[in-house]
Each structure stands twice: as C-alpha cells, then as structure tokens.
Chain A
C-alpha cells in the first residue's frame, strides 16, 4: 500500500533519513521506533507530503505522491502536538474539518462519542488541557475513516481510559484491513497492537521485522525487552541503556 524506495532527506548537513526503503501493506500495524532525532517524524511527514524528500520516491497504492495532494484523503493524521486556533471551539474545529473534507460523506464518530466530546464541544481550544487536545486530534484522524492512519505519539498525554479506548479503536481498524503507522516512546502501549517493528537510528533503517519473528529470535515476550535484547546484540551498551529509559 505504501512503498518507499531509497528515501533520503537532508536538513543542511544533517541527514535525517538515509536511504530508507520500506514496504507497508494493508492490515499491518507498524511501530516506528528509535531514539529522539532518529528520523521517525521526518519519515511520517515525508509520507504526508509535509517534508519534501531530497531523493527517493514514495508511492501510495502504486502512484507516486510527489507534487500530489489528493492522495491525502486516504490518510488520517494525528500530529504529535495538537495546537488549534485559540478562539475556536471544539465543535467549530470538527465542523471546519468536515467542511474541508466535503468528499467524505460518512463519518466515523466512534471516538468522538467514546471521548464524550459533545459534552465539551462549546469549549474554546485555548481553555483545553493537553490531553483533551490530544483527544480532539485523535477524533479528527479517525473521523473520515481513511485507509491509512498515521499516528505520531498518539497516547502521550492521554489518561489510561482514553488511551485504552484509542488502542481498542486501532485494533479494530486494523482488523478492518487498514494500515496503521504509529510512533511512540511508550513501548508498553504498543505491545498488543503492533504487528511490525521498524527501528530507525540516525536516519538509517536498522530493522523491519514482524513482532512474531522478533519474539522467536530474542525469546522475549514484551516489546521493551525485545527491543532491548536486539539493541544489546547488535550495538554498544549505551543503546540498551537508552531504550530502557523509556
């Protein structure tokens, strides 16, 4: 569904993505992992067309996305930081997005109801807590039932109840044959929902494997243990230490 070939992005001298090739299919939940500054967000933004890659191509459903914009109707994006115009209410933001996406007639309002958004929809965005803003972002990502979900740190700042609700929703969408890309530093949140792991480091692709494979290779059950074991095997000790911090 998403095909990335030899993607390279340089910011001035800094190589954020270095010759990355990946292939994602329907029904997968892919966890993008890696330390801060390893290029996860740059990869996500390249797929969304927010960052324009220097070299390489990205194809979605066989069509290159370069200079295109309508392919984004298939993507639901939940950004890492959700900041909205201060004086708009939650209701207005949702209505605005609906008006922008006139192509979509059927809305998936499961999360809106699950998070009990209608009860707070008259509140202005300025007055909201970080967690509530995050909930709004999540609702917007799922609202137009896209084929691909790109979730950047979705559970950061959410309370346990909301976090579980979002995870259940992700599992459900995956069962519907959607493709889901997640970055998160909270590995325990990814445990039940991930099917594949992509590990990036300093812009390079270190590994792209299914969770089952990794479990077999490392003999571990939990994701944080798996990652730790892999990092221990392939790399100096400080990476292991680094990962355990999360």
Chain B
C-alpha cells in the first residue's frame, strides 16, 4: 500500500495541473490578504474562495486521474494485491497530493500573514473538503464505467453541493416558514459537506450571523465547541462513508 501511495505521489507532484492549482491558490491568497487590513475579512474572502474552488477542482481532477489510470490500475491488479488496498492506496495518493497543493497554496501564505485559531480551522475545513471530494470522485469512478459520464457526474456533484443545495435549502425554509424548521435545518446542513466546512470556520469568527442562515443557526443552537465537534464528525463521515461504499462496489467490479 505504501509503495503505491509513494509512486502515485511521485507522479502527481510533477503533474502540471497540481502545480498550477497550488500557484493559483497562492496568488489568490496573497492578493486577497493585501486588500484589507482586517484579518477577519481576509479570512472570510479566503473561506469563500476555498468553498468555491476546492470542491470542484478536487472532484474533477481526481475523477479524471482515476479514469486515466484505468490501464495502470488493471496492471497493478494483475499483481498479488487486494483490490481494496489498491483502490484506497490510489485514493490516499491523490488526496495527499491535493492536500499538499492546498497547504502550499493557502496554508503557507496565510500562516505567515495572519496566524489565528480561525486560520487553522480554515485550513482544516479546506483539507476536509479535499478529502471528501476526492472520496466522492473515487465513488464516481467505481460507479461509472465510462469516462465522459463519470466526469459529467463529477461536475453535477460539485455544482449540487456548492450551488444547488443552498437554493433547495432556501426554498425549503421559505415553504415551511410557518413551522419551526430550525432543528430539521441543522440536520439538512449536515447533508452538505460544503456547508459543514463553512460552518466550521464561521463558528470561530464572530460574523456567523452575516454569513446566512446556516451559520446563525449553528451558533445559536450549539456553542462554538459542540458545534465544531459536530461538524468535524459529520465531515469525517463524509470522507469515510464514500470510501467504504467505493471499496465494496469495487470488489465486484469488472475492469
């Protein structure tokens, strides 16, 4: 397993897309932080950028990479290796590579510029988003046989969680506005990793109310500590559950 992770990393760290991704993140981070002197505002902008970019890049890049390495996967599976080991090693390699890119692009500049507890939660939520969306990419890879369909599914998944979900949430709130929907809403938010990542950071900042309904709710119903623990647990589930399903499906897949 370690061997495969190591060589996938070797390959990916030389990959141009990964390098460009890290550079773009770094450029954005530095330019955003140069615009205002308020650390909290800068972090908010970075949060929005993370929430927008990380999911879509992670899921798209991982899906394409998995589909492109089908033949190599086949060759490795002809070696005495368990399917599960092979699949999870490939996932680990790609997740680590994307995480390194994120840390290099956002983590290093942000830690140099303004280092607070909130900065750390921003990095944690960015990393979680990377792990979650590459796990979803893995799930897409095992569910679809065709590369084009797989990439389509990846784009739809990313758009669903970054854009569509909030719209649905709003229409839900609107249509049930006569009822106490606050608590069911908390449950619904757990269904979207992007919202979870947002909440995790917002709980550390004092601007929760400014960032829409979900942030305010979390702040109100749970204190910062319980809220943070709850979101972290939810995000862990979002990482692990797709991986478990993917490994199960892959066991029976024809390659």
Please give the residue numbers on chain A whose beta carbons come within 8 Å of chain B beta carbons, in ascending order: 11, 45, 48-52, 69-73, 75, 77, 79, 81-88, 92, 96-97, 99-101, 103, 137, 140, 150
Q: Which residue of B lies closest to A89 (CB)?
A: B10
B78 proximity list for chain A (CB < 8 A): 48, 50, 72, 75, 77, 79, 150
Instruction: Scan residues 79-106 of chain B and give those whose CB is less than 8 A from a CB of chain A.
Output: 79-83
Cross-interface CB contact of A88 among B11, B68, B77, B254, cutoff 8 Å: B11
Query: Could you tell me if A87 and B15 are in contact, using CB atoms closer than 8 angstroms?
Result: yes
Q: How far is the CA of A88 from the CA of B72 in the complex (A)?
A: 12
- Listed by A's residue number, 25 A-B pairs whose Cβ atoms lie within 8 Å are A11-B254, A45-B254, A50-B255, A51-B254, A69-B81, A69-B82, A69-B83, A77-B75, A77-B78, A81-B71, A82-B75, A83-B70, A83-B71, A85-B69, A85-B72, A86-B15, A87-B10, A92-B7, A96-B3, A99-B3, A100-B3, A100-B79, A100-B81, A137-B75, A150-B78
B15 proximity list for chain A (CB < 8 A): 86-87
Does B37 touch A at the CB level, under 8 Å?
no
Q: How far is the CA of A51 from the CA of B10 in the complex (A)?
A: 29
Query: Could you tell me if B79 and A83 are in contact, using CB atoms closer than 8 angstroms?
Result: no
Report the number of A-B residue pairs with Cβ-Cβ less than 8 Å: 79
Query: Could you tell me if B71 and A97 are in contact, using CB atoms closer than 8 angstroms?
Result: no
B80 proximity list for chain A (CB < 8 A): 69-73, 101, 103
Does B30 touch A at the CB level, under 8 Å?
no
Please give the residue numbers on chain B whose beta carbons come within 8 Å of chain A beta carbons, in ascending order: 3-4, 7-8, 10-12, 14-15, 68-72, 74-83, 252-255
Q: How far is the CA of A22 from the CA of B70 in the complex (A)?
A: 29
Q: Which residue of B lies closest to A101 (CB)?
A: B79
Q: How far is the CA of A92 from the CA of B75 in the complex (A)?
A: 15
B77 proximity list for chain A (CB < 8 A): 48-50
Query: Could you tell me if A79 and B75 are in contact, using CB atoms closer than 8 angstroms?
Result: yes
Minimum CB–CB distance from B141 to chain A (whole Å) comes to 16
Q: How far is the CA of A48 from the CA of B81 in the complex (A)?
A: 12
Minimum CB–CB distance from A47 to chain B (whole Å) comes to 10
A71 proximity list for chain B (CB < 8 A): 80
B68 proximity list for chain A (CB < 8 A): 83
Q: How far is the CA of A81 from the CA of B12 in the complex (A)?
A: 22
Q: How far is the CA of A94 from the CA of B204 in the complex (A)?
A: 49
Q: How far is the CA of A77 from the CA of B77 in the complex (A)?
A: 10
Cross-interface CB contact of A82 among B71, B79, B81, cutoff 8 Å: B71
Q: How far is the CA of A82 from the CA of B72 in the complex (A)?
A: 7
- With A72-B78, A72-B80 given, can you name 11 additional A-B contacts, CB distance below 8 Å? A48-B77, A49-B77, A52-B254, A75-B78, A77-B75, A82-B75, A85-B8, A85-B72, A87-B15, A88-B11, A137-B75
